[in-house]
Amino acid sequence: MNYTIFKKNKFVSAVICSNVLISLVGCNDNAGVQTLPKRTYQLVWSDEFNNTTTSVVDNTKWNIDSGIGSNNDGWGNDEKEYYTSRDTNIIVKNGCLTITALKELYGGKSFTSARINTKGLFEHAYGRIEARIKTPYGPGIWPAFWMMGANNDSVVWPDCGEIDIMELRGQKSNIINGTLHGPGYSGVSAIEKSFAFVNDRFDSGFHVLAVEWGINYIDFYVDNTLYQEVTPKSVPGKWVFDHPFYIILNVAVGGNYVGGWPSEQTPFPQTMLVDYVRVYKEVSK
């Protein structure tokens, strides 16, 4: 059973009221049946993480990030981890990408983890971008599956755009958030909506997190439930989702999104399992 939580934010709820196109009924056992848009897709890129000969992530598809960010500021979020490429933090095994956050002293930080991205290797606009993920959990743990405008070296954030397909705060691992950042709507003013399981958790099993991205919409999905649709009319600034983006997968430890530091009692190690990442383009009917 699941329902949609509307973000407790005056601005966002005003947006939702005028732009919700779905017919979800809140809080009921059998939510109103959704009429999902019928779109036809063709696979253009994927990583099934089914490596049999190596446990290292495919370097023709992914860059492995390292350290604490180019501005030494915890990747802009005051994150507390040091990202490495060691197989204790990132490994492909049993058909899954496995990112593990560890509580250990390394590089001057108290935690290590991993972050990978497709910048310069795969950059794409529009279509359906999905991943099947089993998240980590625990206060201060912050997994994310997201995309960044590939022009972010020349066009500074947030103007390059950012699409967060899934972010989770480990202290409430039954809830994920889907978010768009752009000029005039970034950071605390980003366009965001939550999806919550009433009686399940994202770390108990695998779920498919996806966006469907067209010229005039970005739809956010958890499995087969459409929980947010954003259009150019719903954003208070320029719609910048009209150029290629690259994909990022990571598990952060601490940072502004999760309220600072993990708890002393947060269980470690924490693991995110990604069964696959798939990108489709829409084909005309």
The span of 38-46, 73-81, 171-179, 209-217 binding other proteins (CB under 8 A) equals 171-179
Q: Which residue has the tokens 């383009």?
A: 281
Answer yes or no whether residue 204 interacts with other proteins by CB under 8 A: yes
Rg (the chain; Cα; Å): 18
Q: How far is the CB of 93 from other proteins (least distance, A)?
A: 20
Nearer to other proteins, 172 or 281 (CB): 172
- CB contact at 8 A, 25 and 215: no
Position among 18, 53, 265, 284 found at the interface with other proteins (CB under 8 A): 265
Position among 60, 199, 224, 284 found at the interface with other proteins (CB under 8 A): 199
Answer yes or no whether residue 170 interacts with other proteins by CB under 8 A: yes
Q: How far is the CB of 203 from other proteins (least distance, A)?
A: 7
Q: How far is the CB of 143 from other proteins (least distance, A)?
A: 12
**How far apart are the C-alpha atoms of 204 and 164, rounded to whole Å?**
21
Position among 172, 238, 243, 281 found at the interface with other proteins (CB under 8 A): 172
Q: Of 167, 192, 212, 229, which one is the catalytic site residue?
A: 167
Q: How far is the CB of 176 from other proteins (least distance, A)?
A: 14
Nearer to other proteins, 39 or 201 (CB): 201
Answer yes or no whether residue 197 interacts with other proteins by CB under 8 A: yes
Position among 74, 127, 138, 143 found at the interface with other proteins (CB under 8 A): 138
Q: Of 81, 162, 192, 229, which one is the catalytic site residue?
A: 162
**How far apart are the C-alpha atoms of 68 and 72, rounded to whole Å?**
6
3-state secondary structure labels for all residues of the chain:
CEEEECCCCHHHHHHHHHHCCCCCCCCCCCCCCCCCCCCCEEEEEEECCCCCCCCCCCCCCCEECCECCCCCCHHHHHCCEEECCCCCCEEEECCEEEEEEEEEEECCEEEEECEEECCCCCCECCEEEEEEEECCCCCCEEEEEEEEECCCCCCCCCCCCEEEEEEECHHHCCEEEEEEEECCECHHHCEEEEEEECCCCCCCCCEEEEEEEECCEEEEEECCEEEEEECHHHCCCCCCCCCCEEEEEEEEECEHHHCECCCCCCCCCEEEEEEEEEEEEECCC
- 212 part of the active site: no
- 264 part of the active site: no
Answer yes or no whether residue 52 interacts with other proteins by CB under 8 A: no
Answer yes or no whether residue 103 interacts with other proteins by CB under 8 A: no
Position among 81, 130, 203, 219 found at the interface with other proteins (CB under 8 A): 203
Answer yes or no whether residue 9 interacts with other proteins by CB under 8 A: no
Q: Helix or strand or coil: residue 230? A: strand
* Site size with other proteins, rule: CB under 8 A: 19
The span of 91-99, 131-139, 143-151, 223-231 binding other proteins (CB under 8 A) equals 131-139
Question: Minimal CA–CA distance to 88: which of 108, 113, 115?
Answer: 113
Position among 82, 83, 137, 245 found at the interface with other proteins (CB under 8 A): 137
| Contact residues for other proteins, defined by CB under 8 A | 137-139, 141, 170-174, 197, 199-201, 203-204, 263, 265-267
State the catalytic residues. Answer: 162, 167
